[in-house]
Amino acid sequence: MRMKKFIAPSMKEGIIQMKKELGEDAVILSTRNVKVEGSADIVEIIAALDDQLLGQASELHASGSGEKSTVKTTQDKSASPSPQAQKTVSASKAAAVYSQSHPSNDDEQNISQAATLLQLRNDVRWLKETLAAVAESIPFRYANSLSPANREVYTTLRGQDFPDDEALRIVGLASAKGTTNDTSEEILAAAREIISSELSLFPPLEVRPTSTTVAFVGTTGGGKTTTITKLAAICKLLYKANILIVSADTYKVGGAEQLQTFASIAGIAFHTAYSSQELRQIVKQESKRDFIFIDTVGRSQQRRQHLLEIGAYLEAASPDITYLVQSASTGEQTFLQTLERFSVLEPDALILTKLDESAGLGGILTALRRHTLPLAYYTTGQKIPDDIETARAERLAEIVLPQL
């Protein structure tokens, strides 16, 4: 284990010396050019081997006797040196002279500085490592204070995207249910019960004596049109219902055509409403239908004006049910914002789409619990009509908390 000062005619030669004496793993701690009067500049390098650097450095510092500087001159012994070689020779001599005239006192000061630098480097490295470890443990920061069974369920909930406080709340309630053995399976079952009991549900569509007008609103690409085709197909197959689909989506290119094609294949009546007045009339005229499904244009929750335009259509149609159709693969914050902004349209229930694409439903379920919008259906893929299910709380709780 060594720390050394090298004085050499050039950086290159200094490094060669350093590697020769300290090996390939040597680390340069500092370098500086030294001006020597009447000669080319020489170079001073302080280097060390990385392991036990600090110990070495502080030892040297404490004893006050720095390692003796090693100076190796690179004399060119050729008979008639070139100007370049001459310069080397003169720098080499200068290096030797400088080395002798700057004994260990000087080294001591340099090494002391190097030791401080090393101390700082090590401190920064330690801080970095500690910070990384803390950042990693933040999602599970409460886990260590929980019993092993609670911890397992808590960790599963966090892994399913439940916010920290919500995961803790559920685990707390689940363990307070007082099971006999308190195994993680029991806590898990209790947690499922809590999640499902707190979910508010909306009854599925059914044929009534009078016509049911159903509007579908939501953010762009959330799955409104696809969901309408799924529900229309199911209502037709299951109830032999008399259905009309109205597209009020004249904004999106091909928005209405997409539905029209489906309707004609499925043998379902179809209309396009180019204005809210036209929609009002269609709904009035078609009151003999079991269901009138209204597709609306997808709108960003950020644009209040656009939402109000949809509001005008809804006012004209006066739907019995308005579904907010929202993808489960959006983050909790976007989901919450969508619920809040679309509340101006007074949706009755939520249809959660793209469960198959969601990495974890915890954030969404938490937002739903806090927002108290009941869940009517969820969709799990693009297949029509297979990939839609009537929302069942136990099933959702199982999806969120599968067997350990």
Ligand X SMILES: Nc1nc2c(ncn2[C@@H]2O[C@H](COP(=O)(O)OP(=O)(O)OP(=O)(O)O)[C@@H](O)[C@H]2O)c(=O)[nH]1
**Where on the chain is the footprint of Mg ion (CB under 5 A)?**
224-225
Other CB atoms closer than 10 Å to residue 135's CB: what's the count? Answer: 9
Residue 338 lies near ligand X (rule: CB under 6 A): no
Under the binding rule (CB under 6 A), the answer on residue 10 touching ligand X is: no
Site string for ligand X, 279-298 (x = CB under 6 A): -------------------x
Sheet holding 70-71, edge to edge: 26-34, 42-49, 3-8, 70-71
Neighbours of 128 (CB within 10 A): 10
Q: Which of residues 382-401 bind ligand X (CB under 6 A)?
A: 382, 387
Residue 357 interacts with, from ligand X, Mg ion, none (CB under 5-8 Å by kind): ligand X
- Choose the binding region for ligand X from 41-49, 83-91, 378-386, 395-403 (rule: CB under 6 A): 378-386
Among 9, 14, 218, 385, binds ligand X (CB under 6 A): 218
Query: Which of 57, 352 has the CB closer to ligand X?
Result: 352
d(CA 261, CA 384): 14
Site for ligand X in 341-370 (CB under 6 A): 353-354, 356-357
The closest residue (CB) to ligand X is 298
Contact between 215 and ligand X per CB under 6 A: no
Query: For residue 54, what are the CA distances in angstroms to 25, 46, 70, 84, 323?
Result: 16, 14, 21, 40, 67
Give whichever of 220 and 333 is closer to ligand X, judged by the CB atom.
220
Nearer to ligand X by Cβ, of 277 and 382: the residue is 382
For ligand X, which stretch binds (CB under 6 A), given 103-111, 197-205, 218-226, 239-247? 218-226
Please name which of 66, 58, 71 lies closest in space to residue 101, comparing C-alpha atoms.
71
Nearest residue (CB) to ligand X, 145 versus 305: 305
Pick the closer one to Mg ion by CB: 224 or 289. 224
Compare residues 163 and 381 and give the one whose CB is closer to ligand X: 381
Instruction: Count CA within 13 A, CB hemisphere, residue 229.
Output: 22
State the DSSP code for 210: S
293-313 burial: b if 16+ Cβ within 10 Å, else e? bbbbbbbebeeeebbeebbeb
Closest distance to Mg ion from the beta carbon of 225 (Å): 3
Is-contact 293 231, C-beta < 8 A?
yes
198: tokens are: 């707190």
CA-to-CA dists, residue 375 to 265, 269, 390, angstroms: 29, 28, 9
Whole-number minimum distance, CB 243 to ligand X, in Å?
17
| Residue (of 263, 273, 265) closest to 294 by Cα position | 273
User: Contact with ligand X (CB under 6 A): which of 222, 347, 362, 363?
Assistant: 222
Residue number with CB closer to ligand X (135 or 253): 253
Q: Which amino acid is at 44?
A: E
Where helices occur in 23-82 by DSSP H, the ranges are 53-63
- State in angstroms the smallest separation of the CB of 380 from ligand X: 6
Based on the number of CB atoms within 10 Å of its own CB, is 38 exposed (0-12), middle (13-18) or buried (19 or more)?
A: exposed
Task: Give yes or no for residue 252 binding ligand X (CB under 6 A).
Answer: yes
Given the complex with ligand X, which of 17 and 326 has the nearer CB atom?
Answer: 326
The token pair that represents 294 in the structure block: 């209204």
* Partner whose footprint covers residue 353, from ligand X, Mg ion, none (CB < 5 to 8 Å by kind): ligand X
Give the span between the Cα atoms of 8 and 91, in whole angstroms. 8
d(CA 78, CA 352): 87
Cis peptide before 163 (omega within 30 of 0): no
Does 264 participate in binding ligand X (rule CB under 6 A)?
no
- Asked whether position 246 contacts ligand X by CB under 6 A, the answer is no
Choosing among ligand X, Mg ion, none, which partner's interface includes residue 382 (Cβ < 5 to 8 Å by kind)?
ligand X
Q: Is 221 in the site for ligand X (CB under 6 A)?
A: yes
| Token pair listed for 99 | 């080395």
Residue whose Cβ sits closest to Mg ion: 225
| Residue 192 lies near ligand X (rule: CB under 6 A) | no
Write the interaction track for ligand X spanning residues 64-83; mark x where CB under 6 A is met and - where it is not: --------------------
Could you tell me if 162 and 402 are in contact, meaning their C-beta atoms sit under 8 angstroms apart? Answer: no
Q: Which residues bind ligand X (CB under 6 A)?
A: 218, 220-226, 249, 252, 255, 298, 353-354, 356-357, 379-382, 387
